């Protein structure tokens, strides 16, 4: 199975990058499932129903969130009816929405998606390890689902790596989000789980984490309150990770970073580019 995960969409540049690139990538790379973190899609803060539907229509199979899940208050309502929009599974049980979902792909395969949020330097939530473990017990890889993807939305790389090894051999991919900078540690762990500490952001990299540079710099220099952060408005770059799984086990066979657009060196899964070209 061919899986694509894209990191945090930040504002309009990120949304435009998805709309421009994703439909063509689904066809060229023959993608079976696409998951996108969309927690910063609405001007850098949360997601609206209109934007959610726009991203799904462009080719995403599910959208994960994080600590900005409900920055747009309308999300408290529409997340209940949109089964393909996930908030972290370790939010309190009374929180609207769900933290995991089972997707059926166009070819009938089943992909289980779990969204979790770390606790180091983040909001105090329930234990993400126990929450993810409980979700996977309900939908084990190889029996109930054909592939499983976990988005670990966390600040600390150590916590993301710990989740990767905790789930090694039990899921197809553990990928980190939240820090908006793509890491170079994409690999397949000993048990067969693909891993990457952070998928990066899908947004304007001529910025500070997707935001217009001046206000973050001023805050560091002056250490005084200022204006609200605003999403940068340049050309967006698509950033994420591509994984191919073994149809027999659901574990990873190949992994590669994906970066398309200005500001970062271009990266594509050469094994799929070759397949698409017929070479």
Active site positions, annotated: 68
Roughly what angle, to the nearest 10 degrees, separates helices 128-138 and 157-166? Answer: 30
From CA 241, how far away is CA 195, in angstroms rounded? 9
Q: How far is CA 203 from CA 11, 151, 172, 227, in A?
A: 7, 18, 26, 21
Sheet holding 33-37, edge to edge: 85-86, 62-64, 33-37, 2-6, 238-245, 252-260
Closest CA to 21 of 202, 225, 276, 205: 202
* 3-class secondary-structure state, position 249: coil
């Amino acid at each position: 199975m061919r899986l694509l995960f894209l990191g945090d969409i930040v504002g309009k540049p990120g949304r435009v990058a998805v709309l421009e690139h994703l439909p063509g990538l689904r066809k060229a790379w023959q993608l079976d499932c696409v998951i996108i973190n969309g927690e910063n899609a609405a001007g850098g803060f949360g997601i609206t129903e209109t934007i959610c539907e726009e991203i799904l229509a462009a080719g995403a199979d599910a959208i994960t969130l994080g600590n900005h899940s409900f920055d747009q208050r309308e999300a408290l309502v529409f997340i209940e009816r949109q089964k393909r929009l996930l908030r972290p599974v370790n939010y309190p049980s009374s929180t609207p929405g769900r933290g995991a979902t089972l997707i059926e792909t166009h070819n009938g395969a089943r992909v289980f998606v779990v969204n979790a949020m770390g606790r180091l330097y983040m909001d105090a939530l329930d234990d993400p390890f126990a929450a993810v473990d409980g979700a996977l017990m309900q939908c084990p890889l190889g029996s109930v689902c054909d592939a499983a993807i976990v988005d670990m939305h966390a600040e600390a790389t150590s916590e993301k790596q710990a989740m990767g090894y905790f789930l090694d051999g039990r899921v197809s991919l553990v990928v980190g989000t939240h820090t908006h900078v793509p890491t170079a540690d994409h690999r397949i762990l000993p048990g067969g789980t693909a891993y990457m500490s952070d998928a990066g952001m899908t947004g304007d990299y001529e910025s500070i984490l997707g935001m217009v540079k001046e206000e973050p710099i001023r805050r560091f220099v002056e250490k005084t309150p200022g204006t609200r952060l605003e999403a940068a408005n340049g050309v967006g770059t698509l950033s994420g990770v591509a994984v191919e799984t073994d149809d027999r086990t659901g574990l990873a066979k190949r992994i590669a970073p994906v970066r398309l657009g200005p500001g970062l060196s271009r990266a594509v899964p050469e094994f799929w580019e070759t397949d698409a070209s017929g070479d």
